[in-house]
Amino acid sequence: MKRFLVTLQRGVNPIKVQNIRFSSKLAKGIRELNEKQNNASTPTVKESDKIDLSRTFDALDSSSMKTMETILDILHDAEEQSDFKKINVKVHGIETVEDTKYLNEFTTKFGEEIFQYKVIRYLNDTEIIGNDPNIWGTIPNSYNDYIAEFTNEYLQMNNSFFKSNEITFNGHLNHFQSIAKYFMENDSRCLQRISREIEILAKYQRTQTFTKRKYHFPKLSLPPPYPYDSENPLVIMKALSTKKELNLLPFIINDPDVIKNLIIKNQVIHNNEVTPVEMIQSLMEAQELEGSKLFTIMVKKCLYSTNQLNNQKLIDALINNESIKSIVASESKIPSRLFSYNNYRLALSRSSVVDINDDLKILELLKSQFNRFFGLFYRISAFEAEKWMSKLVEFYVHGSAIDTLKLSNDSIAYFRQFISNVEMDTNKSKWAKKWQIKQ
* 192-211 confidence digits (pLDDT tens): 999 999 999 988 765 445 67
333: left (phi over 0), alpha (psi -120 to 50) or beta: left
Q: Which residues of 375-412 are buried (b: 16+ CB within 10 A; e: fewer)?
A: bbbbbeeeeebbebbbebbeebbeeeeeeeeebbeebb
- Quick check: 320 and 396 in contact, CB under 8 A? no
Q: Average pLDDT, stretch 51-57?
A: 35
Dihedral angle of Cα 283, 284, 285, 288, to the nearest 10 degrees? 120
Residue 20 exposure: Cα atoms within 13 Å on the Cβ side: 20
Residue 3 confidence (pLDDT) above 60: no
- Quick check: 163 and 135 in contact, CB under 8 A? no
* Residue 117 neighbours by CB under 8 Å, 6+ apart: 290, 293, 294, 297
- Top-confidence residue, 99 or 171: 171
- Which of 54-58, 127-131, 175-179, 210-214 ranks highest by mean pLDDT? 175-179
Residue 69 confidence (pLDDT) above 90: no
- Quick check: 232 and 325 in contact, CB under 8 A? no
Dihedral angle of Cα 262, 268, 273, 277, to the nearest 10 degrees? 40
- Distance from the first to the final alpha carbon of the chain: 68
Q: Residue 92's pLDDT is what? A: 33
Can you give the length of the chain in residues? Answer: 439
Q: How far is CA 438 from the centre of its chain?
A: 52
Query: CA-to-CA distance for 81 and 70, rounded, in angstroms?
Result: 17
Could you say which DSSP state residue 43 is in? S
* Residue 417 neighbours by CB under 8 Å, 6+ apart: none
137: left (phi over 0), alpha (psi -120 to 50) or beta: left
Residue 258 confidence (pLDDT) above 60: yes
Enclosing H/E stretch for 3:
strand 3-7
Sign of CA dihedral 30, 34, 35, 40: positive
Sign of CA dihedral 241, 244, 245, 248: negative
Confidence tier at 147 by pLDDT (50, 70, 90): very high
> Structure pTM?
0.76
Which of 30, 5, 25, 26 shows the shortest CA–CA distance to 15?
5
With residues binned 3-state (H G I as helix, E B as strand, rest as coil), the percentages for the chain, rounded to 5, are: 65, 0, 35
* 294-308 confidence digits (pLDDT tens): 999 999 999 988 888
Query: CA-to-CA distance for 419 and 437, rounded, in angstroms?
Result: 27
Count helices and strands in the chain by DSSP H and E runs: 17, 2
Q: Residue 243's pLDDT is what? A: 79
**Beta bridge partner(s), residue 20:** 3
Query: CA-to-CA distance for 18 and 205, rounded, in angstroms?
Result: 11
**Beta bridge partner(s), residue 18:** 5
Helices (H), 8-164: 22-39, 64-87, 105-125, 128-131, 141-154
Burial class of residue 100 in the structure, from the number of CB atoms within 10 Å of its CB (0-12 exposed, 13-18 middle, 19+ buried): exposed
* 270-288 confidence digits (pLDDT tens): 999 999 999 999 999 999 9
Q: Residue 427's pLDDT is what? A: 72
* Residue 180 neighbours by CB under 8 Å, 6+ apart: 102, 107, 108, 110, 111, 114
Helix crossing, 141-154 with 22-39: angle to 10°? 20
φ/ψ of residue 433, rounded to 5:
-65, -40
- What is the longest distance spanned by two Cα atoms in the chain? 92
Q: Residue 362's pLDDT is what? A: 97
Q: What percent of the chain has pLDDT over 90?
A: 51
φ/ψ of residue 38, rounded to 5:
-70, -30
